[in-house]
């Protein structure tokens, strides 16, 4: 299954971000700490070049601590980039973020030269909750459905620190299949763009290899391991959670919804769905496939003409 989701308002966001980028000093990109690379928007990388960037690994309280540290180190090795981990609702985030930004852009300070930051992130990454926690009041719209914030707004973090909030924006085309699944697992993709059972099975396949004990403990299943088929796991979860239809048939749709919700809430445990080396491998393979597709299209066009 290829997961794609780029509703109309994201085209408007793309244009707004490109325009705003001309007048900002630093980009703050909010990532989901459980899928740091998958929650990066390549549209930002393409449209915003040579601007210092602070990567915020949000929802760090739901992520694997060791893997979060790996990602922070990975991002810090990139040009004009820093990275920190945050938990959305913590009030200390405001001072932490302002301090890092000022260290990166020391020449912008005072009322005459306020530091102008733009904050971006994929849908449902916790950006609005993070902003509200920083401000200590409800200024940004929040919700469980992706795509809540649909218009740019300027927020004043201090007299000389302006923050421009932008709508959540996804990949215009998701070329890395694993990223599509991870975004769907985290709830960053609209439900109409995915098959929840297939997404849950993908999640189970990753957890049984990387977080087997957490999976077994959450659903009280100790007779299955990484060698059992993903369907066996989903059926066992259906039994444990009473997701059954008439005739003792498994309600795999309900079981899938339970698994996804348990991941999103952190009920399974602190989990990160990718590490830097994995991501580099996934992206390399995806780019090679994409190049092959483009070459095939070019050949077909040449033959047609």
- The rounded distance, in Å, linking the Cα atoms of 128 and 135 is 11
> Binning pLDDT at 50, 70 and 90, where does residue 245 land?
very high
**CATH C-level class of 177-276:** mainly alpha
Q: What is the DSSP letter of 41?
A: -
Q: Note the pTM of the prediction, 2 decimals.
A: 0.86
**Can you say whether residue 50 is alpha, beta or left, with left for phi > 0 and alpha for psi between -120 and 50 degrees?**
left
pLDDT at 237 over 60: yes
Residue range(s) occupied by CATH 3.40.50.300 in the chain: 16-165
Predicted pLDDT of residue 132:
83
> Binning pLDDT at 50, 70 and 90, where does residue 141 land?
very low
Helix axes 196-210 and 252-265, enclosed angle (nearest 10): 60
Could you tell me what percent of the chain has a pLDDT over 70? 82
Predicted pLDDT of residue 186:
94
DSSP SS3 for 54:
strand
For 16-165, CATH number out of 3.40.50.300, 3.30.420.40, 3.40.50.720, 3.40.710.10 equals 3.40.50.300
Query: Among 160-169, 237-246, 285-294, whose mean pLDDT is lowest?
Result: 160-169
Of 109-118, 138-147, 229-238, 244-253, highest mean pLDDT: 229-238
Average of per-residue pLDDT values in the chain:
86
Residue range(s) occupied by CATH 1.10.1580.10 in the chain: 177-276
pLDDT, one tens digit per residue, over 4-34 is 545 555 566 666 677 777 789 999 999 999 9
How many residues belong to the chain?
305
């Amino acid at each position: 299954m290829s997961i794609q989701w780029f509703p109309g308002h994201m085209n408007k966001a793309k244009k707004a971000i490109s325009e705003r980028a001309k007048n900002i000093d630093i980009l703050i990109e909010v990532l989901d700490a459980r899928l740091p690379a998958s929650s990066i928007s390549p549209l930002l990388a393409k449209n915003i070049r040579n601007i210092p960037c602070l990567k915020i690994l949000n929802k760090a309280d739901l992520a694997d601590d060791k893997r979060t540290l790996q990602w922070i180190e990975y991002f810090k090795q990139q040009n004009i980039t820093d990275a920190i981990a945050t938990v959305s609702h913590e009030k200390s985030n405001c001072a932490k973020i302002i301090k890092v930004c000022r260290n990166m852009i020391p020449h912008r300070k005072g009322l005459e030269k306020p530091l102008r930051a733009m904050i971006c992130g994929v849908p449902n990454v916790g950006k609005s909750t993070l902003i509200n926690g920083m401000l200590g009041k409800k200024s940004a719209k929040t919700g469980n459905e992706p795509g809540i914030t649909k218009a740019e707004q300027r927020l004043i973090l201090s007299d000389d620190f302006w923050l421009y909030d932008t709508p959540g924006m996804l990949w215009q085309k998701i070329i890395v299949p694993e990223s599509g699944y991870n975004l769907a697992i985290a709830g960053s993709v609209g439900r109409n763009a995915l098959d929840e059972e297939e997404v849950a099975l993908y999640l189970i396949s990753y957890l049984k290899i990387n977080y087997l004990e957490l999976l077994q403990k959450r659903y009280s299943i100790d007779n299955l391991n990484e060698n059992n088929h993903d369907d066996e796991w989903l059926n066992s979860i259906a039994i444990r959670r009473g997701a059954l239809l008439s005739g003792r048939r498994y309600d795999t749709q309900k079981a899938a919804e339970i698994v996804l919700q348990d991941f999103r809430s952190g009920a399974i445990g602190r989990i990160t769905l990718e590490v830097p080396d994995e991501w580099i491998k996934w992206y390399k393979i995806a780019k090679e496939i994409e190049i092959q597709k483009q070459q095939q299209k070019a050949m077909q066009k040449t033959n047609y003409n």
